[in-house]
Amino acid sequence: MDSAIQQKVDQWLAGDFDQQTKDAIVKMRDENPAELADSFYQNLEFGTGGLRGIMGVGTNRMNKYTVGMATQGYANYLKDVYPNDEVKVAIAHDSRNNSRFFAETTANVFGANGIKVFLFDSLRPTPELSFAIRQLGCQGGVVCTASHNPKEYNGYKAYWNDGSQLVPPHDKNVVKEVEKIASVDDVKWNGGEANITIIGKDIDEKYIEMVKGLSVYPEMIERQKDLKIVYTPIHGSGIMLVPQVLERFGFTNVHIVEEQKTPDGNFPTVAYPNPEEKATMSIGLEKAKQLDADILLGTDPDADRVGIGVKDNHGEWVLMNGNQTAVLAFNYLLEARKEKGIAQPNDMIITTIVTTGMADDLAKGNDVACYRVLTGFKWIAEMIRVKEGKENYVIGGEESFGLMIGDKVRDKDAVSAVALLCEMAAYEKDKGKTLFEKLVELYVKYGFYKEDLISITKKGMDGQQQIAAMIQEYRNNPPKEIAGSKVAQLLDYDTSKGINPHTGEEWAINLPKSNVLQFITEDGSLISARPSGTEPKIKFYFSVKENLESADRFDEVNKKLAAKIDGIIASMNLK
């Protein structure tokens, strides 16, 4: 074994760690040395969003000690920034295995550092944590979740005083403080229990009332209150609030997927608790088909992502992708607010650099501003801060199945998204349309945008190096043409430069640095390459567009666009 890894193992065996942890290390050493090496070869990185990793013993795993050290560093930073204030934090967790334990560990460490803690009494959706931070006047917060990752993962998301995840300068400053915690002996583990207050139903009620206030057309719901809704929480925290919110909105015909109703960190009915995946949503799709439902919705374990199923133009149940969902949601709020007479001249929407270009067309068609930011809702929240008092934020969203409606929550919120999407379905049904028919109508009006995504996973010790080498190769030797179309623009967000490779013209990209490359071809195709910030994978996003002259040509053009994306993927040797 590498001597540096062996040194870390020896430190844990000799250090102030519980006996169960030491026994697990000895067992791995004897039975699975490769796993032991992977558990200790690096420190689990506290990135700009927090921690995420496989649960287990070791420096490269989610456990009591890595969570405690991260919390100590975050506590130190909060006390440095607010030396004269009573520092307060809110803490929530989802249904994952050990999430409650990690949340209580986090609460104990904050409390031992003299910080006032508001800890939810049981699992809650991530967006409610964001709301609670603002509601309770906290300077920070934490939610213990690994979002949609497989069951062996858990995580720790850190938030700032506006309810958004950390952005500059706080993100990197917190990382520095966490890196200063060299040993578990630097952590204050207990002694501050009196600083912990348990919260629950009062915040739930305030959150539900806030979400209800987002409704644009309650009279449409009243007319369509028997809209047939199927909802699955996929064994996660959505069950705590989504049914209540739908009832409060006035929907009376809601069917919960019983097999996935109970919170369970083993996610027994799915391999991967992600509502983007057809396999994950298959039980819900079958139930929607049996009931002849109007809409199917699913939320991930911490209820910040939403998946939506509808009947297509052939009457078959299909899952919409995140871009399609965002397009429908954006359009509904813009169209309905205008129709209701509540649109404002300074309305704006926000999306990200890898989300469909159709968002810009929708904004232009409705005379509102559309801003593009880096991937992640913390950047949408940052743009809201920049525009606060000057422009009116309506909705934000990105392709990764996330929406953020209104500005009372500053992270993606699947609870309010479910309610909005059901209201949207009621609005269209009242006009005699399905959601799929509405989407095709928008394609006819603005152009048929089709997107796809490929994720390439590289696990283990050398996975990150392979991903880094892959993106660097594209940076050093960018393609001159893709699928027969010349690359007209290369956008490098890491160097903040755009370039026309044929003329040599360069320009500045006015966004924070990010390890993202985009290629725009002469035929208008957009290809983005981005290493994930939370998983050992690199993602490639593809977007192509054609005119759609009429709804009856949908299948023909859809097939043509799918072939175009396949050609791009083949051209880039990604399959």
DSSP classification of residue 293: -
Contact 142, 124 (CB under 8 A): no
- Helix/strand/coil for 307: strand
DSSP classification of residue 189: -
- CA–CA distance, 541 with 455 (Å, rounded to integer): 9
Q: Which pair of structure tokens corresponds to residue 447?
A: 């152009």
Query: What positions carry a catalytic annotation?
Result: 147
DSSP classification of residue 237: G
Q: How far apart are the first and last CA of the chain?
A: 35
Residue 220 CB neighbours (<10 A): 22
Find the farthest-apart pair of alpha carbons in the chain and give their distance in angstroms, rounded. Answer: 72
- CA–CA distance, 3 with 5 (Å, rounded to integer): 5
For residue 211, give every residue at least 6 positions away whose Cβ sits within 8 Å of its Cβ, in sequence order, or none.
245, 248, 415, 416, 419
For residue 207, give every residue at least 6 positions away whose Cβ sits within 8 Å of its Cβ, in sequence order, or none.
127, 128, 131, 132, 135, 241, 415
Q: Which pair of structure tokens corresponds to residue 319?
A: 């899952």
431-463 burial by CB neighbour count: b if 16+ within 10 A, else e? eeebbbbbbbebbeebebbbbbbeebebeeeee
Burial class (CB in 10 A: 0-12, 13-18, 19+), 498: middle
- CA–CA distance, 114 with 475 (Å, rounded to integer): 47
For residue 317, give every residue at least 6 positions away whose Cβ sits within 8 Å of its Cβ, in sequence order, or none.
285, 288, 289, 296, 309, 310, 311
- CA–CA distance, 97 with 81 (Å, rounded to integer): 33
Using DSSP bridges, classify how beta strands 196-199 and 153-160 pair: parallel, antiparallel or unpaired: unpaired
- Comparing CA positions, the residue from 384, 406, 381 lying closest to residue 213 is 406
Cα distances (Å, whole numbers) of residue 487 to 49, 421, 490, 499, 570: 33, 37, 7, 10, 16
- CA–CA distance, 43 with 40 (Å, rounded to integer): 7
- CA–CA distance, 416 with 411 (Å, rounded to integer): 11
For residue 52, give every residue at least 6 positions away whose Cβ sits within 8 Å of its Cβ, in sequence order, or none.
62, 146, 149, 153, 154, 155, 156, 534, 535
Contact 73, 178 (CB under 8 A): yes
- CA–CA distance, 167 with 147 (Å, rounded to integer): 19
